[in-house]
Structure 1
Amino acid sequence: MLAGVTAATLAVMTHIPSPAEELRLVDAELYRLDARRAQLLARRGWLLSQLQPVRPLPAAVPPRPEATGPGVQNVLLVLGGVLLTLAAAAFTVVSWGHLGITGRAVVLGAVTAVALAVPVPLLKRGLRSTAESVAGLGLALTVLDAYALYAAALTEADATGYAAGATAVLAAVWAAYGLLLPRVTGRPLLLPVPAAVGVAQLPMVLLAVAVGADASGIAAALLVTAAADTALALRAVSGPARIPAVAGAYGLGGWGALTAGGLVWTATGPAAAAPAAGLLLLSTGIALAGAWAPHTGTARGNATVAGLLAVAALGAVPRSVVSDGWVVPVHLAWGIALLAPLGVARIPEAVRRGLGRASGVVQALAVVAALPAVAVALLGPLGAPLRVWSGVPGDARAAVTADLPWPPASGTAALVLAAVAAVLVSAVREPLWRPRALDTATVLVWAAVLVLPPVLRLPYAAALAVLVLTTAALAAWRRLLPMVLALVTSVVAGLLSLAAEPATLTVFALLTAVFAVGARRPLPVAATAAYATALLCATGAALDRQPSHLAPLVLLVPVAAALWAARTAGATRLTAEVSGGIAALVAVGLAVPDAPMLALALALTGVIVAGTAVRPDRRPAGQVAAALFVLAAWVRLAAWEVSVPEAYALPVAFPALVVGVLRRRRDPRTSSWTAYGPGLAAGLLPSLVAAWGDAHWQRPLLLGAGALLVTLSGARHHLRAPLLLGGSVLALVALHELAPYLVQVAGALPRWAPPALAGLLLLALGATYEQRLRDVRRARETLGRMN
């Protein structure tokens, strides 16, 4: 290729061809280049194919079978056994009548014997699956034999009784067959023994039904069968017989226990309760045996069930004797007794833990049974504010049941709560659970004390005394939970005290003193302020004072809160200030109907807030105090029926200007808009609005003079805010005063005069445009230099 190019080049250099000849040379060269490019691409493809590794083709993978050989075999064997069983049943039921007695016996006996004998050689040859199928057919044929015997010779016998005997015989035959086969063949079958255990669940129950036993007898039959299942399950730790034995133990045992429990629930006396209690004890023994035996994964659950059944059994007879109010304490006592075995080391740990759990369940249920009485004691007084000072209730129960009914059988609620609290304190010793147990016990004891007055029907005064003393005891306990309980108790006491005037004053005074003792913490501070406010309101009401006249009296609480906040720090200080603020809002709310008293309340509140603003960390409170003072002045002016806007605006403007002057002295870099803008706007703008609607000359004259002074002051001191605000107000006042004359002049001029004047103005502006721009720029720079 290079030789061709060189030759062509030399030819061109030595000989200048014609255009036609040169075109021919160029086409020939391009053809050679295309051919060479095709050769190189082919060579490149071959080289790439040689460099890539040779990958063998994947071998053919046979399809994965969807069913295994043993699975197919089992399906075929089961299907064949079922078909043979159905055929035998059809023969027995349909074709039975065509044979005589001898023929019937020979056929059924021969077929059954063959079906039961065939598994022996099959097992010896190792065909276990086939042997299982044939054995299943033989077992089904024995059932048909039993039916055939009844249909042929025992039709007069009781069907249920015959079924009981037949199932017992079948269970024994199947069990013997399953146990003898291994001795003969050396290899067992899996089906006969579990089938025998499953059929053995029926004889006792069917026999009880056959003899006409009542619910107690049927429960006994169920539990006896369950006991036998439990014994078999515990002996057969592993093997096919364990599964139906365990299922029977749980199924029949649970059925029997529920039946016995229903008998206990409906028992009307000891004679009816005692047999049911005995059945429950039997079920308890069954569950405990299942828990006690080793190698049982459900030991703890069985022990828990055993404990619950024992409590129900031991409380059955007393329950039928005592009144309804003592049913819960009786069962609670037995539930607490379940804790006794916890310290016995010989008892398995799973059993001890299960019994402890059962005891906890019983105690929790007892507490739940006592909750309705606690709820009434807590929620019953909520309706007391609707009946303030309506009269002393007859007793504590009458005081809390004015709106809610007292729950029945709640006479022992306090005893139950106290007993559970004592158990928690004495029994829970683990470091992890001990604090939680103590907190729970505290709540339970508090609930017991709360519910005790209505339970005992204590006198009204005694009930209030109990609640106040409980509040004091809990408030003295410097922990959060007791303090919360103290607050709740104090609310109940305060609501109950609203029934009588002396009780209200006494209880609120005592509660104020109780929480004031611990006022170093936030919650007592808030409670003290709340009850002090309530006490002052109640005192004023007792003195027949109008609600609005109570405002100055209530403001004593914010005063005390402000003084106390100055001596504390942190959350306590903030709580005191917030509580004082809430009390001040109450005072202001009381004074709203009376405008003069409202002005006084606002002013006094402003004094309190101003005193708080003296502290360096509460300087922003000064703004709130100023707002309160202004608002007090406005309310007073409104009470005097003053409608002059300057009376409302100037008391705001002068203090604001004074504050601005002081701030500018302290920080000369402060903008005049920040320092003087609010005060000037408050003093000038309301008067400007009034001046535009005022037909007299006094207000515009005074406002214009004031605006002129403000403008001159701004120009003198180079302050932007006074200059612009004063100048704007002055210009608007002047415009307002000249408006009538402008209107007259506009009316006197011809209609062409305004357009002509506008045109002349535009011409003048255009002629002096550059000078005007320079003047505007100079004015802007002058204003920019002003502060």
Structure 2
Amino acid sequence: MENVLPPADELVLVDRELAQLDARRSQLLARRAWLLQLLQAAAVPAAPAPTGWGAPQRPVADTAPPSAQNVLLTLGGVLLTIAAIAFTLVSWGSMGIGGRAAVLGLVTSAALAAPVLLLRRGLASTAEAVGALGLVLMVLDAYALHRVALAGTDGVAYAAAASAVLAGAWAAYGTALGGLRIPLPVAVVAAQLPLPLAAVAADAGGYALGWAVLATAAVDAALLLWARPASVRATAAVGLCVSGSWALLTGGWFSVTDPVPAVGLLVAGGALALYVGWRTPAVTVLGAVVAALAAVAAAGGVLRSALPPEWVVPGYVACGLAVAAVWRTALPRPVRLGALGTGAGVLGVGVLWALPPAAALLLDSAVRTTPVWSGPGTPAFGEYPATAPLVLLTATAALVPVRRTWARCAALLVAWATVLSLPVSLGLGHAPRPVVLLLTAVAAAVVACRPQWLVRDLPAPAAVEHERAGDDVPAGADHAGAPESGTADGAARVPEGGTAEAPAGVFGAPTWPGWGGAGVPAAARAAVVPATAAAWSGFAAAVVSSVGAVLIGLDTRAWTFTVLGVLLVLFAGVAALGERGARAVAACLAVAAATGLVLAGTRAAGLPDHRTAVWLLVVPIATVGLGARLRRHPLMLPVELSGAAVGLLAIGFAFERPATLALVLALCGVLATATALRPESRRAAGWVAAVLFVLATWVRLVASDVTTPEAYTLPVTLPALALGVLRRRRDPEASSWTAYGPGLAATLVPSVIAAWTDPDWVRPLVLGLGALAVTLLGGRYRLQAPLVLGGAALALVALHELAPYVVQVVGALPRWLPPALAGLLLLAVGATYEQRLRDARRLRERLGRMR
């Protein structure tokens, strides 16, 4: 039985616990501060007693002594090496045989013996520098020996022998003096040269050179696996990579030109890589990949020499699949992974080789040079091997058994490319091409709507993660981990020892409202993801095939109507049954197909562009009607936006005939008005309708040669003022400039400009009366915008009307009178400046109080 405290008692208990915690925390902080003080006091050494004023202080070194020592030793060794080289190359000829031998022997022996004494005294860095100098001197000794005593011998052969001797000598020297780190890695570097140089000196050919380099790589592998110093292993690893790569590349080259002798080199190199990878866990996968590539190159080269040219790539693909079959063996997992990855890579290269026929089918009509509906043109792309579909079919068969989402989607796309490549690879001519494109589009669309058969046996993502981690996933655990009903995420109940159950949705997976995104329980989402990926893959393939079908359908009139009709039905079906995200795209594509049908019909009837524009409005009318039926359906907005885009296209077609353009604009305005008046709030459609109606009116006026500005401005002013009145009724605090300013300015400003250039009296009279009415209304209702705009227009009209009389009066008056009157006016204003200023302030305040 569980006893629950009342909220008040529980609150008191919680406050008491918090107070105790705060007190304990304060104690611990005080103790911590005291301990820190003790540690700091112990760490600070006692200050030395001063020895007097101006006592010298110990200088602080800029660098650590070992670093400075190493720099000095390195510079000294470099200078001595340069001096030895200069002596050997420049001053050697001025000495006799005895002198040369004595100098070289003395200097080299001293350089090699000095590290022994230096190591005994603990001078390791100095010993390293002197030892490095001794190694360089040994190379110079070998060079000098060839120049003086063995000048007649072959240089490459002498270099091979000298490098072998030096490698052995340095290895013995480094082993004897274990305190030196340089000789042994340098010996490994020298050991890379004897066998390749010997092969070059013997002029044994590229094949023997490859074997020599491979033997050197085997020596490097032995050092890597069994040598003790880490520096030797690192140097051997670099040498193994360089020599092994050289040998395998040589074998790969010979597998193309002379494949049979190259088999041994490739097999040996692959075996060496596999053995090193087997013994070195860090590079096991890499070693398996190298070995698998060598095996594919060896077997593929042999097949290459026996097969016709069109079967070469399928032969390599077969070898890659044979290597990938190692995955089913009992070898260690890293080895199997390397083999599987290599086989997949070879198969991927084969697929890339086989894709051009499918691309040719899709793009051949895109580069057409003949007019539309003039019949098939000459193919722009050349012929392709007939074995390309076989490679794609093989890739499909290899991908289907893989129980992963990516593999099933890839298998679907490769199978689609296989079908597309058939007409081009098999040379079937032009007739089957549109049929194949339409069939692939339909089949891919079916997969987009019903992908459950493609992913039915796939494990859930949770099970995949367990499998990747090496865990055993029990049968029926696809939805493991789903919480029971009543938990925080609301997932379905999972019976003990069972799996989550839910009704099957469109994709054969458990589904709930909103299954495409948020609101899907975790157990259901795991099954939805593979189906969604497959659906999108099918939809992408359907779209690409549709584009190719449209392009190739333009060859003839009959195929154009057939392709567009099929695509209209197809994408309408996907919009009704497909995946949620794809449905919107499919709806837009269905509208595009309908638009293409209308354009094709008008072109077949020989209608001009301005009549085509009117017929194009059939599509926006249909989309507006469909949107009214869909109401708040997710497809409503994409359908209506697609129809609006077709309306813009119709406006573009009507530009050549202003009268038709006005009609099209007015009809588009009607459609926008019908959209705005629906129960859903569509303010944007209302504004678009207003703009379209105004543009239609203006275009109609231009077509009728109307030049009066009021005919253009009044259709804007009256609706704008009506909207302003409605705005002020809903929001009495709204500014008059926002409500009435745009509408009044749209008419008053152009009319005032026209009145100043109009010699007649009708426009100024009507404009003056209108401006007076606007001014009086602004003063009556205390509205700032009508008062200011109407008053300004009235003043400008009055000034325009009085200007001729003023000019006449000024011309009749004496010339001294205008300046005198201006002076009197200034005097009067100056005398009453304060009063005028107060009047201006009161006027500004009154205007400011107006809306």
- Normalised to the residue count of structure 2, the TM-score between the two structures is 0.65
Q: 1:343 to 1:668 in 2, by over 3 A?
A: same
Letter in 2 for 1:349: R
Q: Which residue of 1 aligns with 2:674?
A: 611
Q: 1:623 to 1:602 in 2, by over 3 A?
A: same
Report the alpha carbon displacement of residue 280 of structure 1 after superposing the two structures with TM: 2.0
Q: Which residue of 2 aligns with 1:509?
A: 565
Report the alpha carbon displacement of residue 613 of structure 1 after superposing the two structures with TM: 1.2
Q: Which residue of 2 aligns with 1:261?
A: 252
Q: C-alpha separation between the residues in 2 aligned to 1:351 and 1:218?
A: 29
More moved, 502-511 vs 369-378: 369-378
Aligned residue runs from structure 1 range 190-269, under 5 A: 213-220=204-211, 223=214, 253-265=244-256, 267=257
Q: C-alpha separation between the residues in 1 aligned to 2:48 and 2:693?
A: 100
Q: 1:242 to 1:67 in 2, by over 3 A?
A: closer
Q: Indicate the SS of the match to 1:518.
A: helix
More moved, 509-518 vs 370-379: 370-379
Letter in 2 for 1:593: E
**Count of residues paired in the alignment:** 690
Q: 1:287 to 1:756 in 2, by over 3 A?
A: closer
Residue of structure 2 aligned with 1:679, choices 735, 743, 764: 743
Q: 1:262 to 1:685 in 2, by over 3 A?
A: closer
Q: C-alpha separation between the residues in 2 aligned to 1:302 and 1:515?
A: 50
Q: C-alpha separation between the residues in 2 aligned to 1:57 and 1:592?
A: 101
User: Does the CA-based 8 Å contact 1:291-1:350 persist in structure 2?
Assistant: no
Q: Which residue of 1 aligns with 2:347?
A: 363
Q: List alignment gaps of at least 5 residues for structure 1.
A: 1-51, 98-117
Q: C-alpha separation between the residues in 2 aligned to 1:594 and 1:607?
A: 20
Q: Which residue of 2 aligns with 1:633?
A: 697
Q: 1:159 to 1:707 in 2, by over 3 A?
A: closer
Aligned residue runs from structure 1 range 537-552, under 5 A: 537-552=599-614
Report the alpha carbon displacement of residue 453 of structure 1 after superposing the two structures with TM: 3.3
Q: Indicate the SS of the match to 1:499.
A: coil
Q: 1:657 to 1:239 in 2, by over 3 A?
A: closer
User: Does the CA-based 8 Å contact 1:384-1:495 persist in structure 2?
Assistant: no
Letter in 2 for 1:323: P
Q: 1:764 to 1:507 in 2, by over 3 A?
A: same
Q: Which residue of 2 aligns with 1:314?
A: 299
1:435 and 2:405 matched:
yes
More moved, 253-262 vs 753-762: 753-762
Q: Indicate the SS of the match to 2:295.
A: helix
Q: Which residue of 2 aligns with 1:349?
A: 333
Report the alpha carbon displacement of residue 668 of structure 1 after superposing the two structures with TM: 4.2
Residue of structure 2 aligned with 1:706, choices 770, 786, 809: 770
Once the two structures are superposed, what CA deviation does each residue of 1:702-726 show, in whole Å capped at 9, x if it has no partner? 3334344444544555544444444
Report the alpha carbon displacement of residue 321 of structure 1 after superposing the two structures with TM: 2.6
Q: C-alpha separation between the residues in 2 aligned to 1:630 and 1:155?
A: 102
More moved, 226-235 vs 248-257: 226-235
Q: C-alpha separation between the residues in 2 aligned to 1:484 and 1:237?
A: 58
Once the two structures are superposed, what CA deviation does each residue of 1:525-553 show, in whole Å capped at 9, x if it has no partner? 22222232233222211211111211111
Once the two structures are superposed, what CA deviation does each residue of 1:342-383 show, in whole Å capped at 9, x if it has no partner? 2322x2333222222322332333344345555555554443
Report the alpha carbon displacement of residue 758 of structure 1 after superposing the two structures with TM: 4.2
Q: Indicate the SS of the match to 2:377.
A: coil
Q: C-alpha separation between the residues in 2 aligned to 1:730 and 1:442?
A: 77
Report the alpha carbon displacement of residue 695 of structure 1 after superposing the two structures with TM: 1.9
Q: 1:194 to 1:640 in 2, by over 3 A?
A: closer
Q: Indicate the SS of the match to 2:721.
A: helix
Q: Indicate the SS of the match to 1:607.
A: helix
Report the alpha carbon displacement of residue 694 of structure 1 after superposing the two structures with TM: 1.9
Q: Which residue of 2 aligns with 1:493?
A: 549
1:523 and 2:493 matched:
no
Q: C-alpha separation between the residues in 2 aligned to 1:540 and 1:745?
A: 70
Q: C-alpha separation between the residues in 1 aligned to 2:669 and 2:844?
A: 43
Q: 1:155 to 1:573 in 2, by over 3 A?
A: closer
Q: C-alpha separation between the residues in 1 aligned to 2:781 and 2:199?
A: 117
Q: Indicate the SS of the match to 1:389.
A: coil
User: Does the CA-based 8 Å contact 2:741-2:786 persist in structure 1?
Assistant: yes
Q: C-alpha separation between the residues in 1 aligned to 2:47 and 2:427?
A: 98
Write 1 or 2 for the structure with the bigger share of helix.
1
Q: Which residue of 1 aligns with 2:484?
A: none
Q: Which residue of 2 aligns with 1:16?
A: none
Q: Indicate the SS of the match to 1:617.
A: coil
Q: C-alpha separation between the residues in 2 aligned to 1:583 and 1:543?
A: 20
Residue of structure 2 aligned with 1:690, choices 743, 754, 758: 754
Q: Which residue of 2 aligns with 1:12?
A: none
Q: C-alpha separation between the residues in 2 aligned to 1:389 and 1:595?
A: 30
Q: C-alpha separation between the residues in 1 aligned to 2:191 and 2:58?
A: 56
Q: Indicate the SS of the match to 2:401.
A: helix
Residue of structure 2 aligned with 1:331, choices 294, 304, 316: 316
Q: 1:501 to 1:171 in 2, by over 3 A?
A: same
1:55 and 2:47 matched:
yes
Residue of structure 2 aligned with 1:464, choices 434, 438, 451: 434
Once the two structures are superposed, what CA deviation does each residue of 1:251-283 show, in whole Å capped at 9, x if it has no partner? 554444333222222x3xxxx432222332232
Q: 1:301 to 1:727 in 2, by over 3 A?
A: closer
Once the two structures are superposed, what CA deviation does each residue of 1:309-356 show, in whole Å capped at 9, x if it has no partner? 0000011121123233322221111112112222322x2333222222
RMSD: 5.8
More moved, 238-247 vs 445-454: 238-247
Q: C-alpha separation between the residues in 2 aligned to 1:755 and 1:69?
A: 99
Letter in 1 for 2:296: V
Q: 1:336 to 1:237 in 2, by over 3 A?
A: farther
Q: List alignment gaps of at least 5 residues for structure 2.
A: 1-43, 51-56, 99-112, 450-534, 577-582
Q: Which residue of 2 aligns with 1:110?
A: none
Q: 1:458 to 1:743 in 2, by over 3 A?
A: same
Aligned residue runs from structure 1 range 561-710, under 5 A: 561-566=623-628, 567-569=630-632, 572-615=635-678, 616-710=680-774
Q: C-alpha separation between the residues in 2 aligned to 1:720 and 1:163?
A: 103
Q: C-alpha separation between the residues in 1 aligned to 2:726 and 2:789?
A: 20
- Normalised to the residue count of structure 1, the TM-score between the two structures is 0.70
Letter in 2 for 1:313: A
Q: C-alpha separation between the residues in 2 aligned to 1:199 and 1:646?
A: 98
Q: Indicate the SS of the match to 2:306.
A: coil
More moved, 532-541 vs 308-317: 532-541
Residue of structure 1 aligned with 2:269, choices 283, 288, 303: 283
Letter in 2 for 1:691: A
Q: C-alpha separation between the residues in 1 aligned to 2:192 and 2:632?
A: 77
Q: 1:174 to 1:555 in 2, by over 3 A?
A: closer
Q: Which residue of 2 aligns with 1:419?
A: 394
Q: C-alpha separation between the residues in 1 aligned to 2:601 and 2:247?
A: 68
Q: C-alpha separation between the residues in 2 aligned to 1:422 and 1:722?
A: 80
Instruction: Tell me the percent identity.
Output: 46
Residue of structure 2 aligned with 1:560, choices 622, 625, 642: 622
Once the two structures are superposed, what CA deviation does each residue of 1:68-93 show, in whole Å capped at 9, x if it has no partner? 999999x99xx99xx9xxx9xxx9xx
Report the alpha carbon displacement of residue 454 of structure 1 after superposing the two structures with TM: 2.5
Q: Which residue of 1 aligns with 2:815?
A: 751
Q: C-alpha separation between the residues in 2 aligned to 1:246 and 1:774?
A: 97
More moved, 462-471 vs 539-548: 462-471
Q: Indicate the SS of the match to 2:606.
A: coil
More moved, 546-555 vs 382-391: 382-391
More moved, 332-341 vs 711-720: 711-720
Q: Indicate the SS of the match to 2:656.
A: coil
Q: C-alpha separation between the residues in 1 aligned to 2:320 and 2:631?
A: 51
More moved, 531-540 vs 762-771: 762-771
Report the alpha carbon displacement of residue 617 of structure 1 after superposing the two structures with TM: 1.6
User: Does the CA-based 8 Å contact 1:332-1:363 persist in structure 2?
Assistant: yes
Q: Indicate the SS of the match to 1:320.
A: helix
Q: Which residue of 1 aligns with 2:13?
A: none
Once the two structures are superposed, what CA deviation does each residue of 1:684-706 show, in whole Å capped at 9, x if it has no partner? 43333222222223333333343
User: Does the CA-based 8 Å contact 2:259-2:298 persist in structure 1?
Assistant: no
